[in-house]
């Protein structure tokens, strides 16, 4: 079952930008910079780690540092380690349009990224609270 759920998350991300319109996005909250969404149907647990598909919808476009192209949303798979209160990105895509629309600005695969501590009141803290409470 875990392999099937992981495959579902991988398939959802690999089909972006199409999947962003099919995902069941739930708004977690917002601040002056962004609105944070998650797709609870993509939660997948493996031991102490939990993965989920999330989206950051920027209120004001940012800029990709390498391409210098505007970025208005980011959709990605992040993995959370509940006991250590940390996370790491697995894969993410940056989009020119809001809510995962428009041109794909970058497609980033980071499966060997290191876990980083979660900062209080950050978007990662909000997602962590959702996925680690469900576990």
Q: Mean pLDDT lowest for which of 21-25, 36-40, 63-67? A: 21-25
Cα–Cα distance measured from residue 60 to residue 23, given in angstroms and rounded to the nearest whole number: 23
Q: Mean pLDDT lowest for which of 13-17, 109-113, 119-123? A: 13-17
Q: Is the pLDDT higher at 11 or at 42?
A: 42
What is the per-residue pLDDT across 88-117, written as a single tens digit (0 to 9) for each?
999 999 999 999 999 999 999 999 999 999
Nearest to 83 by CA among 111, 50, 113, 54: 50
Q: Is the pLDDT higher at 73 or at 8?
A: 73
Domain boundaries, position 10 = 2-134
Cα–Cα distance measured from residue 88 to residue 32, given in angstroms and rounded to the nearest whole number: 24
Cα–Cα distance measured from residue 107 to residue 35, given in angstroms and rounded to the nearest whole number: 21
User: Is it the case that residue 41 has pLDDT exceeding 90?
Assistant: yes
Give the pLDDT band of residue 21 (cuts 50, 70, 90).
low
Q: What is the CATH number of the domain that holds 108?
A: 2.40.128
What pLDDT, on the 0 to 100 scale, is given for residue 109?
A: 96
Give the pLDDT band of residue 4 (cuts 50, 70, 90).
very low
Number of H helices, E strands in the chain: 3, 7
Q: What is the pTM of this model?
A: 0.83
Q: Is the pLDDT higher at 11 or at 25?
A: 25
Whole-number percent of the chain with pLDDT over 90 = 81
Tally of domains in the chain: 1
């Amino acid at each position: 079952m875990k392999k099937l759920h992981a495959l579902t998350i991988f398939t959802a991300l690999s089909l972006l930008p199409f999947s962003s319109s099919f995902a069941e996005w739930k708004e977690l909250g917002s601040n002056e910079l962004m609105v944070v969404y998650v797709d609870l149907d993509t939660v997948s647990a493996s031991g102490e780690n939990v993965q989920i598909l999330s989206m950051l919808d920027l209120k004001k476009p940012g800029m990709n540092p390498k391409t210098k192209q505007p970025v208005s949303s980011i959709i990605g798979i992040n993995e959370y380690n509940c006991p250590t209160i940390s996370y790491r990105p697995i894969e993410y895509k940056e989009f020119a349009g809001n809510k995962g629309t428009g041109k794909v600005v970058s497609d980033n695969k980071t499966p060997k990224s290191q876990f980083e501590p979660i900062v209080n009141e950050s978007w990662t803290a909000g997602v962590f609270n959702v996925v680690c409470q469900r576990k």
